[in-house]
Amino acid sequence: MAIGKPPSMGIDVTVATIHGKLAEVNSEAMVLLHSRSQEIHKGVQELQAENKQLLDRTKQLKQQNDELLLGMEQVKKENYHMRVAYERTFLHYLGNYRAPDLHMC
């Protein structure tokens, strides 16, 4: 009687085939994962650079805003002093002004 392959030899071939396929899938997954990781890293670097530019621009705008606020305060002070001087002049003019005598007409 002829005896065929023992069942364990068929299983060994199947296991070896599965291991080969798993190694192939794992290798392909690693390549794709590495590629995706590089894309993400590049995207993060670009976003960080853009964020730095925006922070710098925000800092410039804040500084410009502070300068404008200081300038506005200076203009308010000048306006106040000019108004006071105008009111003094106007009141002085009113004090020296004599209405015409209407009975003389």
Choice between 4 and 93, residue whose per-residue pLDDT is larger:
93
Q: What is the rounded CA–CA span in Å between residue 80 and residue 14?
A: 96
Determine, yes or no, domain membership for 7.
no
* Euclidean distance between the first and the last CA atom of the chain, given in angstroms as a whole number: 158
Determine, yes or no, domain membership for 11.
no
pLDDT digits (tens, 9 = 90+) for 70-87: 999 999 999 999 998 888
Determine, yes or no, domain membership for 12.
no
Q: Is the pLDDT of residue 21 over 90?
A: yes
Total number of domains in the chain? 1
Determine, yes or no, domain membership for 71.
yes
Q: Is the pLDDT of residue 50 over 60?
A: yes
**Residue whose pair of structure tokens reads 């390549």 in the numeric block:** 31
Q: What is the rounded CA–CA span in Å between residue 12 and residue 3?
A: 18
Determine, yes or no, domain membership for 102.
no
Determine, yes or no, domain membership for 58.
yes
Determine, yes or no, domain membership for 53.
yes
Provide the residue range defining the domain that includes 59: 24-92
